[in-house]
Amino acid sequence: MSAASEVERIVEQGGEADDMLRRVVSTVAREPAVSWAGIAFVEEGSLRLGPAAGDPDESRRRQVSIPFQGSPVGELWLDGELPAGELDRIAGLIAPLVLIGWDTGGVAWDP
């Protein structure tokens, strides 16, 4: 099953947005050609990293915008490779969850 299909299943199961996003990054990071995945949220005009999973390798980093109703609400970051269409599909699936935001009150996210 593709990462996008797994993410679709996670979204369909529902739950708390933050828990679902944790499961999404874990799912993406488990893909054979991906070593790390994270979601950055747009907060006050800047991107702030929220949930992440895997082992970072910034030399392989790819970023795809997560738009909601035409406005960027975050970015999906991954270190590795997934087909471009799959990344866009995942971004679309999680956009409503990212819109809710990841409010840590300024405290670094700690899984």
pLDDT given at position 1: 78
Domains of the chain: 3-100 (3.30.450.40)
DSSP for 19-47, written as a single string: HHHHHHHHHHHTSTTEEEEEEEEEETTEE
CA dihedral 47→51→57→60, nearest 10 degrees, is: -60
* Digit-coded pLDDT (tens) for 30-73: 999 999 999 999 988 899 999 999 999 999 999 999 998 888 99
List all residues 6 or more positions away from 45 whose beta carbon is below 8 Å from its beta carbon. Answer: none
